Structure 1
Amino acid sequence: MQHPQPSPSMRQIFVLVFSIIATLYLLTEVLSQSIQIALLASWFLIMALGKVNGVSYPRMQHGLIQGISKGMDAILVLMAVGALIGSWMAGGVVPNIIYLGLSIMSPDIFLFAAFIICSVTSVATGTSFGTVGTAGIAMMGIGAGFGLPLPLVAGAAICGAYVGDKLSPLSDTTVMTASLCRVSLVSHIKSMLYVSGPAFLITAILFLFTGFAFDLGGSTSRAEEVMATISEIYPIAWYMLIPALVVVALLIMQMPAVPVILLGALLGVVWAYGFSDKTLTEALTTLYRGNVISTSDSFIGILLNRGGITSMLEVILLVILALGLGGLMEVTGVLATIANRLQHWASTPGRLGVSTILAGVLGNMLGGAAYVALITASTITGKNYQAMGIDRRVLSRNAEAGGTITTPMIPWTDGGVFMATTLGVATGTYLPFLWYHILVLVISVIYAYTNWFSFRDENPGAEQKAVHPQA
């Protein structure tokens, strides 16, 4: 028998959101507890609201499981990337990339180069996680060798990683958004280019001039020290890059991400056994425990002693708890109530664009993953686009802005936790340098209120054209 969807009032939702925020602050900031404990406590707050509105526990448990299942792809990728980082560090793959970067790059243009390299990698592979777990890790090592602030380097790497996550036809979020919004993949990407193109160019210029503005005196000598230490530990040769080239090539060929990354991790084991002082047992152990080397250089130890599936366990737990939170929000009717309120508020094209972006942000904040955010962003205000004669390509473009782009900007989402854990930089410290993300949001809002590049659907079936502002 089908049960009616519960509908909590907006007053109840305001109390719930305030309670969750207060709980997160109290446990993490005042009592110094982990964010995982805070999210688990938030489960009980939502369950309490569900019980008040007559939702049975079996139904809420089903919502929990359904919510968590939406993020299983991300969880599998997290485990695979953890294993890859551990074996690539042990096998000398990432150290060789760091050595190469330090030897050929100038500190002045490094931030610009890091952004471009990560952008190209993400567009070619379609994965932000894979890009940060490979090229991003290498960029952090090179940037540290040049003496650049690590949050700034992380910002450049993450910005580049999300260029492809948002635009690549190989990206799961890009394909998912086009499907949810019922537009063709090519049309969706073309629509996003009106926003992402200017954002990409401005971001590239900002990183270029920021690099020139830094006083990096003495950084070259530190880079030479890092190169010397790496060359003492690992052989420096072109064949040390083969695992990375294989992984990138297979991802470009649209092979599934998880098995490709795991294959790269196994190649790292072969390299660790063949080209370093690791025994086979030690090389295999790096998949789970990560790389461990002994060095008198503490910086090199921090740089290279990392990775392994165990390094991702806290991240995976956080993702599970955040996704469960989103599942509870959905089954208790919280998301539906917010959706109805946003639909009524979105009465103008400007408000409509903002409401779609806000729906994506709420999906990330309450669901903890881009998959949840894209569903909320694409469904909450979809009917309003049709009613106003605005093409669904604008809906898909705004859904990506609110759903995909904001994921690494929120500390407890799968993207935010992965970026912070993998790069070793807290979300709050790299957030001010996510210039690409900020520009995408700002430009999207400007387009919504000015009607710039807003496609109209006045003649269904006819070719749609961009509407430019009147002079």
Structure 2
Amino acid sequence: MEKTKELPSMGKVFLVLGGFLALAFAFTTLGISIHLAIFSGWFLAIGVGLSLGYTYEELEDAISDGIHNGMSAVIILLAVGALVGTWISGGIVPTIIYYGLKTIHPSIFFLATLIICTLTSLSTGTSWGAAGTAGIAMMGIGAGLGVPDPMTAGAVLSGAYFGDKLSPLSDSTILSASMSDVDVIEHVKGMFPASVVGYAIAAIGFTILGFNVGGGSTDLNRVNEVMNAIEGMYNINPLSFLPLVIVIGLLIMEKPSIPVITFGSVLGIIWGIGFQGLEPVKAIGTAWSQIPKDTGMEFIDSILSRGGMQSMLWSVGVILFGLGFGGLLDEIGILEAIAKKVEKGINSGGSLTVTTILVGFLGNLFGSAMYVSLILTPKIMEKKYDELGYDRKVLSRNTEFGGTLTSGMIPWSDNGIYMAGILGVSTLDYLPYMWLAFACIGVSIIYGFTDKFMYRVDDEATDDGMTV
């Protein structure tokens, strides 16, 4: 006879989550790979699961299901790795960097980075693709201009996540809407008031930062040296923009991202052979591992030596372990137990908004993957929204802000790992400059407590956004 299963007590919740955080902190401090901390967390969760009446087979299936649900992210990660590797060796990224250094004034560099990455992610529906193409190019331009890498990474992420959130093509947007039982377009409309205000705040901040950091302090000799080094190593040709146009065009046409990104890497191989004179075998090989570059300038070599599937394997390992851990947490009800504990204090739109965003953040913190957060948060919080009479698009909005916008803040989450690896900046270094995330979350919380744009079921919103 099957054992009766119950939600874990707060003591058991603390054992799993507190134990995992302690292991992550200790292993990181000692220089031990975070992989082992997450893997150890599996057995804390398995032990608690067994005590709650689950069989080992059920818990093992939960691990497999968690990994299965996030496999598309792993495949995209490898495909983007191949794209970056071939686009650098094929001269596509170096060409973008070269012309960027030639045309973008340092004082507007951060704003330009924000806008370029916004347009890329908005049109393609992928923050990862935007960071791996336009983002890595802007990192190179920033390095050439002499601006701090963490600031550039913050502008890249702010643009990439804004476009990703508001694009109907985005998998996170579709997942947030579907898990909340909301039409995708209604979900985007629901996010728009908070997202636009948050974006304006971030844009003003990066504009001010640009004038303070790049307004006159840039060493033009350094810029010329980088341009000369790139020109000496690559055949710079305007035709190298064509693969970027083709890939973005295909994604805009709603073609599947994995085949499109893979096709982009094939174009990179062709460009490497045709424009850079690489031997075919060597050009194909850059899809797996990049050819090390030596321009004599370490800061630009670190960018031009990135890419290839092999460079993503460390990240793939962490994501797989994290997805398995998230599957276990979902199965044994860890986050649900936390939500039930805190939902007793939810009595307004403000406390509801804060709690939802917090649950989304915890999904990333302990589930190690944005998908875990976007799947669990609506499931945990939906009853409270229905009880208080709020439209589900408020749930989907807060889920997106808590799940998508905080995903890049966690060093061991799928987004944190990917962004840090592709941009060459540690998560904790770029975290203070994720201004879009902080602004949107802050605006959403303000809306919650002031009852602005907190849409209610069967009610129409007035022109000023107040519910009636």
Alignment correspondent of 1:63: 62
Task: Give, as a single letter, the amino acid of the residue that structure 2 aligns with 1:124.
Answer: S
Change in CA separation of 1:357 and 1:300 when aligned onto 2, cut-off 3 Å: closer
1:366, 1:192 → 2: CA distance?
25
Moved over 6 A (4+): none
2:169, 2:441 → 1: CA distance?
22
* Deviation by residue 1:70-116 (Cα, 9 ceiling, x = unmatched): 11111011000000011001000000000010000101100000001
2:2, 2:464 → 1: CA distance?
45
Secondary structure at the residue paired with 1:49?
A: helix
Give the TM-score normalised by structure 1: 0.95
Task: Give, as a single letter, the amino acid of the residue that structure 2 aligns with 1:28.
Answer: T
Contact residue 288 and residue 308 of structure 1 kept, 8 A: yes
- Given the alignment of the two structures, is residue 200 of structure 1 paired with residue 199 of structure 2, yes or no? yes
- Given the alignment of the two structures, is residue 181 of structure 1 paired with residue 177 of structure 2, yes or no? no
In the TM superposition, what is the alpha-carbon distance from 1:60 to its structure 2 partner?
A: 0.8
Alignment correspondent of 1:336: 336
Alignment correspondent of 2:115: 116
Task: Give, as a single letter, the amino acid of the residue that structure 2 aligns with 1:357.
Answer: I
1:454, 1:18 → 2: CA distance?
34
Change in CA separation of 1:422 and 1:231 when aligned onto 2, cut-off 3 Å: same
Instruction: Percent identity, please.
Output: 42
In the TM superposition, what is the alpha-carbon distance from 1:455 to its structure 2 partner?
A: 1.1
CA RMSD between the two structures: 1.7
Task: Give, as a single letter, the amino acid of the residue that structure 2 aligns with 1:139.
Answer: M
Aligned positions of 1:31-42 closer than 5 A: 31-42=30-41
Task: Give, as a single letter, the amino acid of the residue that structure 1 aligns with 2:434.
Answer: L
In the TM superposition, what is the alpha-carbon distance from 1:35 to its structure 2 partner?
A: 1.0
Change in CA separation of 1:220 and 1:346 when aligned onto 2, cut-off 3 Å: same
1:285, 1:413 → 2: CA distance?
29
Aligned positions of 1:15-414 closer than 5 A: 15-29=15-29, 31-214=30-213, 216-414=216-414
Contact residue 66 and residue 327 of structure 2 kept, 8 A: yes
In the TM superposition, what is the alpha-carbon distance from 1:293 to its structure 2 partner?
A: 3.4
In the TM superposition, what is the alpha-carbon distance from 1:17 to its structure 2 partner?
A: 2.0
Contiguous gaps of at least 5 residues in structure 2: none
Contact residue 5 and residue 333 of structure 1 kept, 8 A: no
Task: Give, as a single letter, the amino acid of the residue that structure 2 aligns with 1:19.
Answer: G
Task: Give, as a single letter, the amino acid of the residue that structure 1 aligns with 2:238.
Answer: W
Task: Give, as a single letter, the amino acid of the residue that structure 2 aligns with 1:57.
Answer: Y
In the TM superposition, what is the alpha-carbon distance from 1:136 to its structure 2 partner?
A: 0.3
Contact residue 156 and residue 207 of structure 1 kept, 8 A: yes
* Deviation by residue 1:343-387 (Cα, 9 ceiling, x = unmatched): 333232221111111111111112122211112221212111122
In the TM superposition, what is the alpha-carbon distance from 1:61 to its structure 2 partner?
A: 0.5
Secondary structure at the residue paired with 1:381?
A: helix
Task: Give, as a single letter, the amino acid of the residue that structure 2 aligns with 1:455.
Answer: Y
Change in CA separation of 1:234 and 1:16 when aligned onto 2, cut-off 3 Å: same
- Given the alignment of the two structures, is residue 449 of structure 1 paired with residue 449 of structure 2, yes or no? yes
Task: Give, as a single letter, the amino acid of the residue that structure 1 aligns with 2:424.
Answer: G
In the TM superposition, what is the alpha-carbon distance from 1:21 to its structure 2 partner?
A: 1.4
Deviates more, 1:249-258 or 1:298-307: 298-307
Contact residue 183 and residue 393 of structure 1 kept, 8 A: yes
Change in CA separation of 1:211 and 1:194 when aligned onto 2, cut-off 3 Å: same
Task: Give, as a single letter, the amino acid of the residue that structure 2 aligns with 1:373.
Answer: S
Task: Give, as a single letter, the amino acid of the residue that structure 2 aligns with 1:329.
Answer: L
In the TM superposition, what is the alpha-carbon distance from 1:285 to its structure 2 partner?
A: 0.6
In the TM superposition, what is the alpha-carbon distance from 1:66 to its structure 2 partner?
A: 0.7
Contact residue 165 and residue 174 of structure 1 kept, 8 A: yes
1:240, 1:467 → 2: CA distance?
47
Give the TM-score normalised by structure 2: 0.96
2:391, 2:173 → 1: CA distance?
18
Contact residue 122 and residue 164 of structure 2 kept, 8 A: yes
1:390, 1:259 → 2: CA distance?
39
Change in CA separation of 1:403 and 1:230 when aligned onto 2, cut-off 3 Å: same
Contact residue 453 and residue 461 of structure 2 kept, 8 A: no
Contact residue 349 and residue 454 of structure 2 kept, 8 A: no
Contiguous gaps of at least 5 residues in structure 1: none
2:95, 2:71 → 1: CA distance?
32
Change in CA separation of 1:466 and 1:28 when aligned onto 2, cut-off 3 Å: farther
1:163, 1:43 → 2: CA distance?
33
Secondary structure at the residue paired with 1:409?
A: coil
In the TM superposition, what is the alpha-carbon distance from 1:336 to its structure 2 partner?
A: 2.9
Secondary structure at the residue paired with 2:177?
A: helix
In the TM superposition, what is the alpha-carbon distance from 1:218 to its structure 2 partner?
A: 4.5
Task: Give, as a single letter, the amino acid of the residue that structure 2 aligns with 1:412.
Answer: W
In the TM superposition, what is the alpha-carbon distance from 1:301 to its structure 2 partner?
A: 2.2
1:349, 1:308 → 2: CA distance?
46
In the TM superposition, what is the alpha-carbon distance from 1:209 to its structure 2 partner?
A: 0.8
Contact residue 144 and residue 300 of structure 2 kept, 8 A: no
In the TM superposition, what is the alpha-carbon distance from 1:4 to its structure 2 partner?
A: 4.1
Secondary structure at the residue paired with 2:408?
A: helix
* Deviation by residue 1:318-358 (Cα, 9 ceiling, x = unmatched): 10111111111122222332232243332322211111111
1:3, 1:397 → 2: CA distance?
37
